[in-house]
Amino acid sequence: MNRLQRPIAKSSARRQATGPTTRQRMLLVIGVLGVASLGLVARAFDLQVVRKQFYQDQGDARFLRVVPIPVSRGTIFDRNGEPLAVSTPMVSIVCVPSEVLDNADRIPALAQALGTTADDLKSYLEQRSDREFAYLRRQMSPDAAQAVLALSVPGVNGQREYKRYYPSGEVTAHVLGFTNVDDHGQEGLELAFDNWLSGKPGAKRVIRDRMGRIVEDVEQVHAPQPGQNLTLSIDRRIQFLAYSELKKQLQDLNADSGSMVILDVRTGEILAMVSLPTYNPNAVTGSQPAQRRNRTVTDVVEPGSTMKPFTMAAGLASGKYTPTAPLIDTGNGHWMFMGKDIRDVESGGNGMLTPTGVLTKSSNIGAAKIALSLDTKFLYDSYRAFGFGDSTGSGFPGESSGFLKVGHSWRPIEKATMGYGYGLNVTSLQLAAAYATLANGGIMHTPTFIKGGGDAGKQIISPRIARELVDMLETVTAPGGSATRAQIANYIVAGKTGTAHLASGGGYAKNSYNSLFAGIVPATDPVMVGVVVINNPKSSIYYGGLVSAPVFQSVMTGALRLMDVPPDNIGRWYVGGPLQAGGGLAGSVPQQNNQDDAGAAEMAEP
């Protein structure tokens, strides 16, 4: 090696000596891997410990849901265990709108299955594209819903719900009312007992797949509490009888509307309650508000002559009157009082009448004179004791309290006309409760729709006076009374007719009437009271004894049999012949005097 080469070799050896060694390279690689591992561990710690809840929430938000567990609404039964309202399982079609829109090619088939157009469905989804939940169709039948779900459209799923069904349809519509699409009561007893019937839905956590289908139940958040059943006092058989007979009479007379209510006098339980016109609670959408109104408790009428027994009750309680004395002069059927002609319908008048005769002949003059002879406060308090001017307390939604003017403000003419049923307003249920008090020995029960829900009752008048009044009212259905067409074969009927002009324009309509009958059966040992009100019959027949009494007779004939009430009139003969099954006298025309108070208002307006 020459001198020039030696420095170069030394320089090269020096460089080799100062370069990284194999060990250094290995340590470097190990260090890099260690740092990377520490980074991974740190990242894992961050994901699994530090921010674990955040990422779990994010995952749950995509796949874990809390969904309701639907519950069946309680069943409503009649007093004999027959179902009146039941809940049937249905399926609602729900979706995530954005997912359906992401699969726009599936919309036409989905729209066809739902019974709508593709354009309408797309517009509906676009309006809700920012939501995670939307209904496509509520409460479809399971078969129809399965046809939709079988399309397997992403984001479309089924949700179980319940829909209310009413087996008796329009027959019990006004009593039961109906529920909305969310199965909550909207009217009638469905509304009054909504909390009892509804129950409480449960909730559970589930995992859904990307199609929105439940793939796993995770846990139950809280258990569902099914609605409780409700057993009514209503007898479906009697309800149907009342509905059928009232409907037929309204059609025959072309009347505007009508109502009937039947009470068990011993308990205050409502056995039947019918209002016409009616509607189908299984298809509420097509009905009108007037059809859905329960006229038995919401509509008020002037009671006409059906009020006379309560004027008589005050007279008997005052000690001034007995069933046979004193005699009351009703003259020739016209009595001028304070410039008003109070009149009876009987041609030529009734002359001298006993208090019983005032009811038998339905004398307006006699009732007015009795009312005027009594202390005003005493008479007012007596009317109030029978529930007039107050709600019956039945608990039915929208029940009217009627109207009874405060006694101290009565003018003499008002006092007189109230004696025979003008100048105050009552509901059919109020009138039935008052007659039930007479039938029950003077004990008033609060009307109830619940079987076994009656109260202990309150003594309103003495049992003696109550019995006397029922005996007096028996004469009304006997020959010569105003309600012979209310007679029932083998039973004694006590009752009272009423025919009141309809109020119109500050006065009374000349040829428009409310026709009423209130009856008690069997009179010797009362079990039931029935009240029939028919509004504005458009025919030459309008007296309560001819219009409403026959409905009472037909319905109560069946009701007595269904309730297994023993006869109290076997072998009894009335003057003129024995009772027929259809009412009246065998082999003769019933002696119908029609001595209601129709026409009196024209000449004796308050």
Other CB atoms within a 10 A radius of the CB of residue 576 amount to: 16
- 319 φ, ψ (degrees, to nearest 5): 85, -5
SS (H, E, C) 431-480: HHHHHHHHHCCCEECCCECECCCCCCCEECCCHHHHHHHHHHHHHHHCCC
Closest CA to 545 of 492, 598, 506: 598
Closest CA to 77 of 236, 285, 280: 236
Query: Catalytic pick from 198, 233, 257, 305?
Result: 305
CB 183 within 8 A of CB 87: yes
**Which tokens go with 263?**
């009470």
**Which tokens go with 445?**
């029960």
**Which tokens go with 420?**
């025979």
CB 114 within 8 A of CB 136: yes
DSSP 3-state of 295: helix
Edge-first strand order for the sheet with 257-264 is 270-276, 257-264, 528-535, 507-521, 494-504
CA distance 531 to 537: 17
Tell me if residue 548 is catalytic.
no
H-helix or E-strand spanning residue 47? none
CB 573 within 8 A of CB 310: no
CA distance 306 to 422: 10
Other CB atoms within a 10 A radius of the CB of residue 152 amount to: 9
Q: Residues 6 or more apart from 21 whose CB is under 8 A from it?
A: none
Q: Residues 6 or more apart from 208 whose CB is under 8 A from it?
A: 63, 64, 65, 157, 214, 215
Count, residues in the chain:
606
Closest CA to 160 of 91, 69, 65, 88: 91
Rounded (5°) CA angle 322-328-330? 145
SS (H, E, C) 476-525: HHCCCCCCHHHCECCECCEEEEEEEEEEECCEEEEEEEEEEEEEEECCCC
DSSP code per residue over 383-396? HHHTTTTS------
State the Rg of the chain over Cα. 40
CB 160 within 8 A of CB 140: no
Which residues are the active-site residues?
A: 305
